[in-house]
Structure 1
Amino acid sequence: MSPPVSAAALPTSVDAMLELLSSRGYLAERALATVTYLSLRMGRPLFLEGEAGVGKTEIAKVLSAALGRKLIRLQCYEGLDVASAVYEWNSAAQMIAIRLAEAGGDVDRDQLTSDIFADRYLIKRPLLQALEPDVAGAPVLLIDELDRADEAFEAYLLEILSDFQVTIPEFGTVKAPHPPIVIITSNRTREIHDALKRRCLYHWVDYPSAERELAIVKTRLPGISQRLSQQIVRFVQALRDQDFYKSPGVAETLDWATALTELDARSLNAEVVGDTLGALLKYQDDITRMQGDQLQKAIKDATSET
């Protein structure tokens, strides 16, 4: 891979954004490159929605590496709160400081209160870390799978995404000197409120076309044969037309292609496909459906043109 570019060298055009992403192996469609470019130029968060495994999270990693910026990731989950995502006070250290002050006598309560709520007792979580200055430039903040978090936490993000600041009652307001590059992803297990979406530029990341997926496989696995890569892409594209509980994303395509190359497969056949379906499909009901005649037909369709 190419070395990181200067932190100040943001792309100056959509074509430059496409080139920057492709230099790190991310083959984006022009629409995605355009909205990413605009997000950087306008200083607006980028909200990416789509099925799992289509490359939403990866774009934040690629931007971090290509721009030479720190990547700060907040993985969302049910029950995520301010203490885990933003900050909390080091209560044990504060208690020790209080007892030491009391043991020394002549305690000035106002001064003690000020001392124990100082920066050195503040435990900074990802959102607060993203607001701090960095010599390499403002970091890339990835808020991953926001749809998994509770609505209350989503509402808390509004101040951060509007003004890039956090208000800590005992400490004051922390404001970013330079706004971070914010990427928010959602697998759409629930709808995200309009109030948050209005603060972002939006893009739906869809499954790639067969041509683009083939190019992705060849880029990520340069040693794979043309014949096998074409068969893999045809097979996966056909699966996405089925009514599965979870269709395979690009991440699963790459996993499966890697598995097949590790097994020195030269072409798809019933035995090798049956043995490796767990790299492609992640639910037993889906794997069970891809058996017998249906599996044979999918393999035949994938291999008939090579």
Structure 2
Amino acid sequence: MSDLVPLPASVDETLSLLETGNYVGDRALATALFLSLKLGRPLFLEGEAGVGKTEIAKVLSDRLGRRLIRLQCYDGLDAATALYEWNYPRQMLEIRMAEAAGADKDALARDLFDERFLIKRPLLQALEPDAAGAPVLLIDEIDRTDEPFEAFLLELLSDFQVSIPELGTVKAPTPPLVIVTSNRTREIHDALKRRCFYHWVDYPSAEREMAILKRKAPEASDRLAAEIVAFVQKLRAAELFKAPGVAETLDWAAALVQLDAVALDPELVDSTLGVLLKYQDDIARLRGSEALTLIQTIQAELSQKPLGI
């Protein structure tokens, strides 16, 4: 059995863990994450799409050397898909083979619900012992599911166990490290939130977004990076249908670097808005004179202060 990477012992160590994973977090996030890990409680992360909620689970998995088990939520997700299913084709084959061999029917009925016929889905996998330590369980975009699925999760998130009628109760020997995310497309029931520690992941400040950009897109020049961050920050203050997240900022920076951009100009912005914005009404509103005005404004502002924002 390999040596386990210890969990961070303080908020400062948690900040350091995030930083070594190239995640630029703030102290409030590090505090919530530290307490979640220390006290063995799920961490519920809520915020707009693209602000880095999912990335936190990936960084935890990578830096702690734990397996990442991801349950991607969607409309219509049910317990069978998330927890387990019985391998019916294999069970039927077993029945036919047993009948052909003249096996005892009572014994066969008991054997049909043996673990070898169980198809383990993400939630059940997360409760299994692991030599590398308890896995990181990411329940991603819980707001895409419905209330019955939320209710199904309550036992798992409070006691780290699930009940399988044919096998009984399955309990994790060591609780997984649970991250639950929501883009807040709907409100999540209080019963689920009460089982978790809560943290709102907001859009980053200009300073933090600049730090993120320099880490994730170091190829961008200082001038280009400063103009990108200033442009995106102003877009988030505008009345758009969907403001760009950090993920879109990074995509835009990567696209502009590929186009050999050293600074923003109206033609370049107009031709790449589809990387940054995802709704045609937002693109149409910004394209042309609006983009020109915005570029002129940020370039004038940046000329009055250092490029590091």
Fold match (TM-score > 0.5) = yes
User: 1-side partners of 2:5 and 2:261: how far apart?
Assistant: 45
Instruction: Give the Å deviation of 1:172.
Output: 1.4
- Once the two structures are superposed, the pairs formed by residues 28-177 of structure 1 within 5 Å of their partners are 28-109=25-106, 111-177=107-173
CA distance change for structure 1 residues 159 and 225 in 2, over 3 Å: closer, same or farther?
same
Residues 1:7 and 2:36 aligned together: no
In angstroms, what is the RMSD of aligned CA positions?
1.1
How far did residue 180 of structure 1 move?
Answer: 0.3
Code of the aligned partner of 1:65: D
Q: Deviations over 1:133-162 (max 9, x none)?
A: 110000000000000011111110001011
Q: What is the letter of the counterpart of residue 102 of structure 1?
A: E
- Structure 2: state its 5+ residue gaps: 304-309
Deviation at 1:179, TM superposition (A): 0.4
**Stretch moving more, 30-39 or 6-15:** 6-15
Equivalent pair of 2:266/2:288 in contact (CA under 8 Å):
no
* Stretch deviating more after TM superposition (219-228 or 230-239): 219-228
Q: Structure 1, residues 62-84: CA drift from partner, whole Å, max 9, x if none?
A: 00001000000000000001121
Aligned twin of 1:19: 16
Residue of structure 1 in register with 2:228 after alignment: 232
- 1:292 maps to which residue? 288
Deviation at 1:6, TM superposition (A): 5.8
Listed as ranges, the gaps of 5+ residues in structure 1 are: none
CA deviations 1:29-49 (Å, max 9, x no partner) are 110010000000000000000
Distance in structure 2 (CA, Å) of the matches to 1:31 and 1:57 = 17
Matched, 1:185 2:163: no
| 8 Å contact from structure 1 (residues 232, 302) kept in 2 | no
**Of 246, 253, 258, the match for 2:249:** 253
Q: Residue 17 of structure 1: CA displacement?
A: 0.5
CA contact (8 A) 2:270 2:288 kept: no
Change in Cα spacing, 1:254 to 1:6, as seen in structure 2 (3 Å) is farther
- Alpha-carbon distance between aligned partners in 1 of 2:62 and 2:299, rounded to the nearest angstrom: 37
Matches within 5 A, 1:193-272: 193-272=189-268
Count of matched residue pairs: 301
Query: CA separation in 2, counterparts of 1:70 and 1:30?
Result: 25
| SS state at 1:93 partner | helix
Q: Give aligned-pair identity as a percent.
A: 65
Aligned equivalents of 1:171 and 1:56: distance in 2? Answer: 35
Residue 19 of structure 1 deviates from its aligned partner by: 0.6
